[in-house]
């Protein structure tokens, strides 16, 4: 079945460092891809998404590009801040009957990011 694999954490970086969190997926069709973030004590929030190959999702300085050839959706940020400390989840969604993505998501295990001042 479909699955998502993301790099193991925790990841500890200094402020202003470059961030990459790797995510690869296995899917039978052409899923939509997502990054969700979970800040301490809060619910999951959608960070960014991409719905087709070569799409780039971006938000709050984070970016990820849907690479069909490598089945990857790596998360990057050029300069992290202490406030980016959170757990990041890569996820995929199969196409709905009428197209688009749906909320039945398959998540990776999450990567905990800690940013030190």
Partner 1 sequence: DTGVSQDPRHKITKRGQNVTFRCDPISEHNRLYWYRQTLGQGPEFLTYFQNEAQLEKSRLLSDRFSAERPKGSFSTLEIQRTEQGDSAMYLCASSLTPRTVATNEKLFFGSGTQLSVL
Q: Parallel, antiparallel, or unpaired for β 111-116 and 11-14?
A: parallel
- Closest by Cα among 2, 94, 86, 102 to 44: 86
Q: Does 107 bind partner 1 (CB under 8 A)?
A: yes
Residue 100 Cα to chain centre, angstroms: 18
Task: Give the residue with the Cβ less far from partner 1, 29 or 117.
Answer: 29
Q: Does 29 bind partner 1 (CB under 8 A)?
A: no
Size of the site for partner 1 (CB under 8 A): 27
- Closest by Cα among 86, 16, 18 to 47: 86
Question: Least separation, in Å, of the C-beta of 16 and partner 1?
Answer: 28
Q: Does 51 bind partner 1 (CB under 8 A)?
A: yes
Task: Give me the residues that bind partner 1 (CB under 8 A), please.
Answer: 4, 32, 41-46, 49, 51, 89, 91, 93, 96, 98-110
């Amino acid at each position: 079945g479909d699955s998502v694999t993301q790099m193991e954490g925790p990841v500890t970086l200094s402020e202003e460092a470059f961030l990459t969190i790797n995510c690869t997926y296995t899917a039978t069709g052409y899923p939509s891809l997502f990054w969700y973030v979970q800040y301490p004590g809060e619910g999951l929030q959608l960070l960014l998404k991409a719905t087709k190959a070569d799409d780039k999702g971006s938000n709050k300085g984070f970016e990820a590009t849907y690479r069909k050839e490598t089945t990857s959706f790596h998360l990057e940020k050029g300069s992290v801040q202490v406030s980016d400390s959170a757990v990041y989840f890569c996820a995929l969604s199969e196409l709905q009957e009428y197209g688009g993505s749906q909320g039945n998501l398959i998540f990776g295990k999450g990567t905990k990011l800690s940013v030190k001042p």
